[in-house]
Structure 1
Amino acid sequence: MDGILVSYRLPPLNGLRAFEAAGRHLSFKLAAQELSVTPGAVSQQIKHLEQILGVPLFQRMPRGLILTGHGEAMLPTISDAFERMSAAADAVARTLPTKALRLGVSPNLTDDPHGLLAKLANKEQAPDYVLITSTDDVANLLSGALDAILRPGPGPYPGMHAEVLNLHQAFSPHAQASLVVWPGLAKCREFLKTRSLLGSLG
């Protein structure tokens, strides 16, 4: 019996990736930072995708983006597809190149954030999937200079993904800290690894 040939008619994957990142962040700038390209490149890729699909995916507003009805209908499925592809690739190749998570750690939590993560990872140096900066300034997160920040207390942090961690007094004078990250990065491998490592403080 002859096999059935299947041909997938897909839009450009770069355009889909740009759309998915911009849809999560509702920002070309933050999508560009995540994808390591320029905001102009993200905008052009999405414009090309919209031309191919024949429908607008975003409304361009003076202070950001709004998903159109077509964009809202498309985003969950595209996000799920990329998440599945990432999981499949992880399962096959654990050594895929990654982009380190830029993490700010409040100096009020520990005098030596690099040494803290190194101890938790049982290494002489902090893990290579996270780059640590000693800072307590949320403005660094909001400006895109950081991907995540660890600060004392529970927050709140409107518009951000925040998780409260219980800390051990042997590592920190504070009982709790908030690990705050852009919602679009809450499922990335680097954040999940860092969260798991910091979770061992409790």
Structure 2
Amino acid sequence: MTYALPPLNALRAFEAAARHLSFKLAAHELHVTPAAVGQQVKALEARLGVQLFERLHKQLILTAAGQAYLPGVSEGFRHIAEATSQLKPSGTVLLQLGVHGSFDLRRLDLAEFRSAHADIGLRVLQPAGLHELVEGKVDLLIARGLSRHPGYRCDRLNEGSGLGDWLIAPEGTADCPEIVSFREWLRALPAENPLANRRPRLVGISGS
């Protein structure tokens, strides 16, 4: 059976824009420009012969056709993601961690993490920032700042308000097993350790 499918990039652009009701936020999630998202959606509408969005001043609204189309597209992506996650390739899963330049890596006990998670090949890029995360050079990032980034899950590593260290991962991959393992590792670092003031502890989530 041959499936009559629109281009995958156009479907991704539509699905992300429909979830966010924003070309800008969809572009941030997909690591492209808002203009690129708009062009992909426009091309999809032309291919399908229907209008998917009402483009109002500073507002994006799904048409009836868009509302009807979205659940099936989202479900299709979910099935693809689930099928992909069930694959068990041989060898080690590579996890690339970016860290800002002033962060002391000794806080993370990375040697112990690697020993406890032999199935995860952890590589560290330092210094690294949001630019490297957006470009896909790293899978998750420890960044310094206030950390409110649409399309990303942000977990604070230390208590308090204002500037701090955050673990940041794209929402689309934030629940991948290797990222979950690293997040749980940070949570499990013993607060009662004599070096506790040098250890990170996830204390909250900043969503977008």
Superposition TM-score tier, normalisation by shorter sequence: 0.5 to 0.7
Give the one of 85, 109, 115 matched to 2:107: 115
Distance 2:168 2:26 in 1: 14
Counterpart residue number, 1:33:
28
Match of 1:197 among 182, 189, 197: 182
Identity over aligned pairs, percent: 37
Shift of 1:189: 2.7
Instruction: Indicate if the aligned counterparts of 2:15 and 2:70 stay in contact, CA closer than 8 A.
Output: yes
The 2-side partners of 1:99 and 1:44 are apart by 33
Alignment of 1:1-202 (within 5 A): 6-92=1-87, 115-116=107-108, 118=110, 121-122=113-114, 129-135=139-145, 137-138=146-147, 140-142=148-150, 147-151=152-156, 186=171, 188-192=172-176, 193-200=178-185, 201=187
Specify every segment of 5 or more residues in structure 2 that has no aligned partner in the other structure, as ranges. 116-121, 126-137, 161-165, 189-208
Aligned-residue RMSD, C-alpha: 4.0
Q: Which 4+ runs in 1 deviate beyond 4 A?
A: 97-104, 111-114, 123-128, 179-182
**When the two structures are superposed, what TM-score results if normalisation uses the length of structure 1?**
0.59
- Describe the SS at the equivalent of 1:133: strand
- Report the TM-score when normalising by structure 2: 0.57
8 Å contact 1:98–1:129 — kept in the other structure? no
- Judging changes above 3 Å, is the alpha-carbon distance between structure 1 residues 89 and 173 closer, same or farther for their aligned structure 2 residues? closer
Could you tell me how far 1:194 is from its partner in structure 2? 3.4
**Distance in 1 (alpha carbons) for counterparts of 2:67 and 2:167:** 25
Q: Secondary structure at the match of 1:150?
A: strand
Alpha-carbon distance in structure 2 between the residues aligned to 1:99 and 1:13:
26
